[in-house]
Chains A and B, each alone.
Chain A
Amino acid sequence: MKNVILGLLRNKKALTGLLILAIIIVAAIAAPLLTGFDPARRVGLPHQPPNADHWLGTTRIGQDVFSRLIYGARTSLAVGFGAGFIITAVGTIMGIAAGYKGGKVDEAISFLTNMVLVVPNLPLLLVLASFIGQASPVVIAIILGGTSWAWGARVTRAETLSIKQKDFVKAAEMLGEPGWRIMAAEIFPNLVSIVGINFIGSVVFAVITEATLEFLGLGDPQAVSWGVMLYSAQNASALQVGAWWDILTPCFALVFLGTGLSLLNFAIDEVANPRLRTGNSLARWVGRVRAGEGSL
Chain B
Amino acid sequence: MNNPLLSVQDLSIEYVGDKTDFRAVDHVSFDVAPGEVFGLAGESGCGKSTIAFAISRLHKPPALICGGNIMVAGRNVLDLDANELARFRWHEVAMVFQSAMNSLNPVLRIESQFHDLLKRHRGYSKAQSRERCAELLKLVDIPADRMRDYPFQFSGGMRQRIVIAICLALEPKLIVMDEPTTALDVVVQREILQRINELRRQLGFSVLFITHDLGLMVQFCDRIGIMLDGKLVEQGTADQIYRAPTHDYTKKLWASFPSFHAPAPRQENAQ
Contacts and interface: CB of A to CB of B under 8 A. Distances in A.
A/B contact in complex, CB under 8 angstroms: yes
Given A295-B78, A296-B57, A285 B18 contact: no
B203 interface: no
Contacts of A288: 16, 64, 66
A285 B16 contact: yes
Contact of B18 (A279, A286, A293): A279
B111 interface: no
A281 B65 CA distance: 15
Interface string B60-74: 011011110000000
Interface string A264-296: 000000000000000111101110110001111
List of 3 A-B pairs having minimum Cβ-Cβ separation, nearest first: A294-B66, A285-B16, A294-B64
B24 to A, nearest CB: 13
Nearest to B64: A294
Interface in A173-205: none
Contacts of B57: 296
B258 interface: no
Nearest to A282: B61
B17 interface: yes
Interface residues of B, number: 13
A280 B67 CA distance: 23
A295 B16 CA distance: 13
B54 to A, nearest CB: 10
B26 interface: no
Interface residues of A, number: 13
Contacts of A295: 64-65, 78
B61 A285 contact: yes
A280 B19 contact: yes
A282 to B, nearest CB: 6
A293 B68 CA distance: 12
B14 interface: yes
B64 A289 contact: yes
B65 A294 contact: yes
B14 A294 contact: yes
Contacts of A296: 57, 64-65
Contacts of B18: 279-281, 284
A296 B62 CA distance: 10
22 contacts: A279-B18, A280-B19, A281-B16, A281-B17, A281-B61, A282-B16, A282-B62, A284-B18, A285-B16, A285-B61, A285-B64, A288-B16, A288-B66, A289-B64, A293-B64, A294-B64, A294-B65, A294-B66, A294-B67, A295-B65, A295-B78, A296-B65
Interface in B60-110: 61-62, 64-67, 78
Given A279-B18, A288-B16, 7 more contacts: A281-B18, A281-B61, A281-B62, A282-B61, A284-B16, A284-B17, A296-B65
A158 B16 CA distance: 34
Nearest to A10: B18
Most chain B Cβ neighbours within 10 Å, of A284, A288, A293: A284
A9 B48 CA distance: 35
Residue in B61, B67, B78 with the greatest tally of chain A CB atoms within 10 Å: B61
Nearest to B79: A295
A291 to B, nearest CB: 11
